Amino acid sequence: MKNAVPIQYLGFVIVSTLFLFVLSACGQWMIQPISAPPLTDNPSDTPENRASTSTRENLTRQQQTRSEKQSNRREKQEPASPPVLPPLPAVQTPAPLEPAPSRIQPSADYRIVGSFSTGEGSYVRSLFADELSVWVGTTEGVIQVSSLSGQATQTYTTQDGLMSPYIFTINKDPQGQYWFGTNNGGISRFDGNSFKTYLPSDGLADFWVYGVAFAADGATWIATWNGVSRFDGKHFKNFNTGDGLADRWVYAIAIDDDGALWFGTEGGVSRLSADGQWQTWVHQDGLGAPNKHRLSKSDNTGFGTQLGGGEDDYKHSHNLSVLDPTGNETYNENYVFSMAIDRAGNKWFGTWGGGVSRFDGSQWQNYTTEEGLSGNIVYAVTVDPHDAALWFGTNHGVSRFDGKTWTRFTAQNGLANENVYAVAVDSEGRIWLGEKGGVDVLTSRSQGESGRPH
């Protein structure tokens, strides 16, 4: 018959089908698809539209009045590319972790065990890992991921109580509450059930919050674009350049074992001792490697730059470009993106173009790509709680430094994006990397997929 199928063809189809079924079963990844509610981005879902209580209605009217009277103050300038405000289109429910393509050879010591997407246009700007979860802060909300199963257990957006979906920083206080510093939404505290947001109307120094740390006396210290705030649970006390801060734009904060506070700013590093004494270090003191290649200074600092001259006359320039108009990298002297304190008490500062700087209390030592750092613009510094090694998220991948040896992991090794904005180490020993569009997860080759040693 003309329509009859040859028996040889049927046999080939059956064998092929069985082969694909077996291959699919063997290729299942350890991290299952994330089933948490998707992040949302409704352009009309603004803090003003959501302000149902009289307090928020009053705040909105105050903000509108202030804007009418002071049209030249605190004017937000949104970049043409990539857009960050208003929030980007809604992301899909994060996809399951997938292994890196086999055609890309990972580094000798580490390998990618998985990755997941947060949306093509989103950025992962912050990560925080505790005993049970990894909290992923994006430009569109927060994703809580189980560090044991790898599944997202929840997502949080403005619909859940955040004033802004753009998350700059995440930390956990001694009482187990989570704090989220946001873009133009103040700082929000989450007790596991609901959010409590603090704004300048409550005493906070600014709407833009980049760092949060917790002192032994119970105070919460908050780094903002207009100085730093100390919050005792009831009242705010703010500090700025008139008090001794190197610069009003503060991006990093940490507290050492002596109770001294360290601030990374756009104008250098400042220290506030436990007895209230201020001290500042700048490039001339040793902060940041020299500008050997004579790179130009970037007017768009990627995080926020004062464009006006007065105390309150400035614009927020906010995008993540670190290149000049010709496509070359830039160098901003004294600019500190990030910091961490290692087990020995050394302070590490990630700079714009000057690599990473180590300060032992008396001397500075700088590390750049010449020593083994992946890139000289350092967005993130994290200390591994398992082995005390340092991880650096840069504009050209991530680097690990154990005090003697550098290990690089870049886009050539399989990273989805070469700009690594955040780094966290989970309870299983896995390294989480925040990038544009998603997260990559690494483990050492001496460990299993869960991060535990074989």
Q: Which two tokens stand for residue 440?
A: 């990559």
| Sheet with 236-239: strands ordered across | 209-214, 220-224, 227-231, 236-239
Band the pLDDT of 226: cuts 50, 70, 90.
Answer: very high
Average pLDDT over residues 133-157: 93
Structure-block tokens of residue 166: 């753009």
Q: Which residue intervals of 279-361 are DSSP H helices?
A: none
Amino acid present at 370: E
DSSP single-letter state for residue 225: B
Lowest-confidence pick of 82-96, 143-157, 296-310, 437-451: 82-96
Does the pLDDT of residue 423 top 80, yes or no?
Answer: yes
pLDDT at 147 over 70: yes
DSSP-based three-state secondary structure for 136: strand
Q: Per residue in 245-271, pLDDT tens?
A: 999 999 999 999 999 999 999 999 999
For residue range 102-118, what is the model confidence (pLDDT) as tens digits? 333 346 688 999 898 99
First to last CA, the chain: 60
How many residues would you count in the chain? 454
Secondary structure letter of residue 277 according to DSSP: -
Closest CA to 412 of 397, 422, 392: 397
Percentage of residues of the chain with pLDDT beyond 70: 70
Instruction: Tell me the CB-side half-sphere exposure of residue 267, using CA atoms within 13 A.
Output: 17
Q: Fill in the amino acid letter for 441.
A: V
State residue 21's pLDDT score.
43
- In this prediction, residue 325 carries a pLDDT of 85
Mean pLDDT of the chain: 79
Percent of the chain scoring above 90 in pLDDT? 63
What's the one-letter identity of residue 86?
A: P
Query: How high is the pLDDT of residue 321?
Result: 77
**pLDDT at position 333:** 93
The answer to whether residues 60 and 17 touch, using CB atoms and an 8 Å cutoff, is no
DSSP 8-state assignment for residue 315: E
Decide which of 340 and 298 is more confident. 340
Cα angle vertex 55, ends 52, 56, to 5°? 55
Confidence at 135, pLDDT banded by 50, 70, 90: very high
Rounded mean pLDDT, 138-146: 96
CATH entry 2.130.10.10 includes domain 29-444: yes
More confident residue, 179 or 147: 179
Looking at mean pLDDT, say which of 9-13, 54-58, 145-149, 416-420 comes out highest.
416-420
pLDDT in the model for residue 159: 96
230 confidence band (pLDDT: 50, 70, 90): very high
Encode pLDDT of 195-207 as tens digits: 999 999 999 999 9
